[in-house]
Amino acid sequence: MLRRRLVSVGALLVAGGAVAATVAALTGGPDRIALAGRYAQAWSRGDFRAMYAQLTPTARGRVTAKRFAALHRENFAVATGQRLAVAGAARELSPGVVRVPLEVRTRVFGRVRAPADLPVAEDGDAVGVDWRRHLAFPGLRRGEDLTRTTEMPPRATLQTRDGAVLAEGETRVPEPEVADVAPDVVGRLGPPPRERVARLRELGLPEDAEVGLSGLERALDERLLGTPGGELLAGGRVLARTKPEQARAVRTTIAPAVVRAAVAGLAGRVGGVVALDPRSGGVLGYAGIAFSGLQPPGSTFKIITLTGALEAAITGQTSRYPVQTEAVLEGVSLENANGEQCGGSLAESFAESCNSVFAPLGAELGAERLVEVAERFGFNGDPLLPGAAVAAIPPAEEVGDDLAVGSSAIGQGRVQATALQMAAVAATIAARGRRPRLTLDLAVARGARQAPSTKVTTPAIAATVEKLMQGVVSSGTGRAAAIEGVPVAGKTGTAELETTRRCEGAPADPAAAGTPEECASASDATDTDAWFAAFAPAGRAAPRVAVGVLLVRAGAGGDTAAPVARQVLQAALRRGR
**Confidence (pLDDT) at 301:** 98
Any domain includes 15: no
Which burial class, exposed, middle or buried, applies to 383 when counting CB atoms under 10 A from its CB (0-12, 13-18, 19+)? middle
Structural domain boundaries, residue 466: 256-574
Q: Answer yes or no: do 137 and 168 share one domain.
A: no
**Confidence (pLDDT) at 519:** 39
Last residue of a domain, one of 142, 177, 196: 142
Q: Answer yes or no: do 103 and 157 share one domain.
A: no
Q: Answer yes or no: do 416 and 495 share one domain.
A: yes
- Helices (H), ranges, 312-441: 346-351, 355-365, 367-376, 396-399, 402-409, 419-430
Q: What is the pLDDT along the chain (577 residues), one digit of tens a residue?
A: 333 333 333 333 333 433 333 334 444 456 899 999 999 999 999 999 999 999 999 999 999 999 999 999 999 999 999 999 999 999 999 989 999 999 999 999 999 999 999 999 998 888 999 999 999 999 999 999 999 999 999 999 999 999 999 999 989 999 999 999 999 999 999 999 988 888 888 888 887 889 999 999 999 999 999 999 999 999 999 999 999 999 999 999 999 999 999 999 999 999 999 999 999 999 999 999 999 999 999 999 999 999 999 999 999 999 999 999 999 999 998 888 778 899 999 999 999 999 999 999 999 999 999 999 999 999 999 999 999 999 999 999 999 999 999 999 999 999 999 999 999 999 999 999 999 999 999 999 988 655 568 999 999 999 999 999 999 999 999 999 999 999 999 999 999 886 433 333 333 333 333 333 333 334 456 789 999 999 999 988 789 999 999 999 999 999 999 999 999 999 999 975 4
3-state secondary structure of 20: helix
Q: Answer yes or no: do 448 and 521 share one domain.
A: yes
Last residue of a domain, one of 201, 216, 251: 251
CB 334 within 8 A of CB 326: yes
**Confidence (pLDDT) at 505:** 33
CATH assignment at residue 392: 3.40.710.10
**Confidence (pLDDT) at 27:** 45
Detail the DSSP E strand segments found in 107-164.
111-123, 126-129, 146-151, 158-159
**Ramachandran bin of 124, using left for φ above 0, alpha for ψ from -120 to 50, beta for the remaining angles:** left
Q: Residues for the chain: how many in total?
A: 577
ω into residue 537 within 30 of 0, thus cis? yes
Q: Pairing relation of β-strands 250-251 and 158-159?
A: parallel
Detail the DSSP E strand segments found in 180-251.
189-190, 211-212, 229-234, 237-242, 250-251
Q: Answer yes or no: do 84 and 194 share one domain.
A: no
Q: Answer yes or no: do 335 and 473 share one domain.
A: yes
Q: Answer yes or no: do 382 and 492 share one domain.
A: yes
Question: Which residues have C-beta within 8 Å of that of residue 550, sequence separation ≥ 6?
Answer: 271, 272, 273, 289, 290, 293, 295, 418, 419, 422, 529, 530, 531, 561
Looking at this protein, which amino acid is placed at residue 336?
Answer: N
Whole-angstrom distance, CA of residue 405 vs CA of residue 393: 11
Q: Answer yes or no: do 59 and 206 share one domain.
A: no
Any domain includes 505: yes
Short-list 199, 58, 191, CA closest to 130: 58
Number of domains into which the chain is organized: 3
Whole-angstrom distance, CA of residue 54 vs CA of residue 51: 5
Any domain includes 420: yes
Question: Which residues have C-beta within 8 Å of that of residue 510, sequence separation ≥ 6?
Answer: 325, 340, 341
